[in-house]
Structure 1
Amino acid sequence: MNPGQGLARLSINQETVRQLSLPELAGKAAELGIGGVGLWRDPVRAYGPAAAARLLRQHGLAVTSLCRGGFFTAREAGARRAALDDNRAALDEAAELGTGLLVLVSGGLPDGERDLAAARERVADALAELAPYARERGVRMAVEPLHPMYASDRCVVSTLGQALDLAERFPADEVGVVVDSYHLWWDERVPRQIARAGEQGRIAILQLADWVTPLPEGVLLGRGQLGDGAIDLRAFRTWTDAAGYRGPAEVEIFNPALWERDGAEVLRETAARYLQHVL
């Protein structure tokens, strides 16, 4: 396979090389032949969504996702209204950027609550309220299941099956799911659930990072560079391909050791690791 052709499907999530400014990321990704970038709301708002969209179009880069919306599990009415308003703003930003995808992290258990099923039902309620707004803006919402270690404080949706159970209440072009290797690699049901998602056209994006042991303190920033850990990354690409997914493979790594290095070097390394361990 021609390396340039291979990298056309690769997307680099902005947080993977957060030490690079958006213009630096765009320029260096385009030079390597990388096809897209995934963006985060805070740096995009600082740069300006319209300006970011122009910059990436000039470099021929697709915006493969916007992170993140969600955090829907609050019980108090005012907090729920605030979360919905913030997600409407995120949908507006996604539309302005020209991406059709807003990634959702559902939210953890509110203080004092132990009812995971009730919290997930509030996620469904929020999706129902936001779906017409998202549809009007041409943006698909993607429910991302996170590893169970995040269930209490960050995401009550822990498996791809749970994410699909939520998404299936809505048309597939309105609500899909994220397949993230870092969060799902441990679950033997994943190949079957990816096939299920593919049958329904629910795979919104494939995200990749490796699992290294021991995880650093805090676990949120413990994602490994491709090929450094325990995950069969090529299997995730193969499973999603077999399920009919033809979209980008977005590398999303939160790792302070990578952020301390030269960003251009990390970008080149990530592209090489993608060719070696994913294709």
Structure 2
Amino acid sequence: MTAPDRFSFNQATAKYWPIPELVAGCVEAGVGQLGLWREETNAYGLDKTAELVRDAGLAVTSLCRGGFFNTPDWYDENRRAIDEAAVLGAPVLVLVSGGLPEGSRDLDAARAHVGEAIGALVPHARAAGVRLAIEPLHPMFCSDRCVVASLGQALDLAAPYPADVVGVVVDTYHLWWDDQVWAQIARAGREDRIACFQVADWITPLPEGVLLGRGLPGEGCVELRRFRDAVEAAGYTGPIEVEVFHAGLWARPGTEILARTLAGYLAHVD
């Protein structure tokens, strides 16, 4: 099986696959692109990861994640994340904005702070050649993980800043429920804001711990090809990452996870 040119395997889909084996497995499978995560790359070694990926001829499509602007050290931590993306050659840093500040119920103020925080990072991101990508998460994560809950909100937050520095993430798992998503994807295209396109399915019933409730393409109820068609109609021709969080999947060997991911992508996305 040969991977399509636009397919990117997000590291989170095989969370416990050691980085050297992940890179070797992608090369063996003909997969040329990877989405990486900060925790794993720093644990293995940032420079070592960059060298390994580069020597294997792989492209890094995104680094996850920055954001969590509700924490006291958000500014320094996000500058570090931008620098790490630059070292890895990742053109996009995904931002998960963080939930409500401790003790607060002021959702409007929390979202406004996200926009201001992103603005404070724009000069550093521009200098590093890294595009910041605001990722809206499903509303069930609003209190603790991400106060940005729709693509429209993400676009509104991005609007004051240059499109080549601040974009948005279209993630099928988080956006499939929204009846406004198709109009907002078209808007994102007009505004040249689509920085990253991620694919995962929504499975029911959700397992305990909804964060791990994603499925491989074809295992759930999301119109994945409709999303692909929509982002392409909006002008996006970049990588398509498959990013799945599921404990049962993570328990399988990395080579099997990659093979199943690629098969699901070919059958339900490509």
Name the SS of the counterpart of 2:212 in structure 1.
Answer: coil
Matches within 5 A, 1:1-279: 4=2, 7-74=4-71, 79=72, 82-279=73-270
2-side partners of 1:34 and 1:236: how far apart? 22
Q: With the length of structure 1 as denominator, give the TM-score of the two structures.
A: 0.94
Aligned residues: 270
1-side partners of 2:69 and 2:7: how far apart? 30
Q: CA deviation at 1:8?
A: 1.8
Q: With the length of structure 2 as denominator, give the TM-score of the two structures.
A: 0.97
2-side partners of 1:100 and 1:206: how far apart? 13
2-side partners of 1:7 and 1:49: how far apart? 28
2-side partners of 1:271 and 1:229: how far apart? 16
User: Structure 2 unaligned runs (5+)?
Assistant: none
2-side partners of 1:19 and 1:127: how far apart? 31
1-side partners of 2:149 and 2:133: how far apart? 14
Percent identity between the two aligned chains? 59
Q: CA deviation at 1:7?
A: 2.0
Q: CA deviation at 1:112?
A: 2.4
What letter corresponds to residue 201 of structure 1 in structure 2?
A: D
2-side partners of 1:90 and 1:220: how far apart? 22
Q: CA deviation at 1:191?
A: 1.0
Q: CA deviation at 1:179?
A: 0.1
Q: CA deviation at 1:14?
A: 0.6
1-side partners of 2:206 and 2:82: how far apart? 33
Name the SS of the counterpart of 2:81 in structure 1.
Answer: helix
What letter corresponds to residue 47 of structure 1 in structure 2?
A: Y
Give RMSD over aligned pairs.
Answer: 1.1
2-side partners of 1:31 and 1:190: how far apart? 37
2-side partners of 1:213 and 1:277: how far apart? 18
2-side partners of 1:19 and 1:54: how far apart? 20
Name the SS of the counterpart of 2:211 in structure 1.
Answer: coil
State the Cα deviation string for residues 30-49 of structure 1 (Å, max 9, x = none): 22222211111111112222
1-side partners of 2:84 and 2:200: how far apart? 26
What letter corresponds to residue 22 of structure 1 in structure 2?
A: I
Matched-pair contact (CA < 8 Å) for 1:9–1:34: no
Name the SS of the counterpart of 1:145 in structure 2.
Answer: coil
Q: CA deviation at 1:60?
A: 1.8
Q: Which moved more, 1:85-94 or 1:7-16?
A: 7-16
State the Cα deviation string for residues 205-264 of structure 1 (Å, max 9, x = none): 100110001111120111111110000111111111111101110011110000111110
Q: Which moved more, 1:129-138 or 1:18-27?
A: 18-27
Q: Which moved more, 1:107-116 or 1:228-237?
A: 107-116
Query: Following superposition, which runs of at least 4 residues in structure 1 exceed 4 angstroms of deviation?
Result: none
2-side partners of 1:46 and 1:153: how far apart? 25
User: Structure 1 unaligned runs (5+)?
Assistant: none
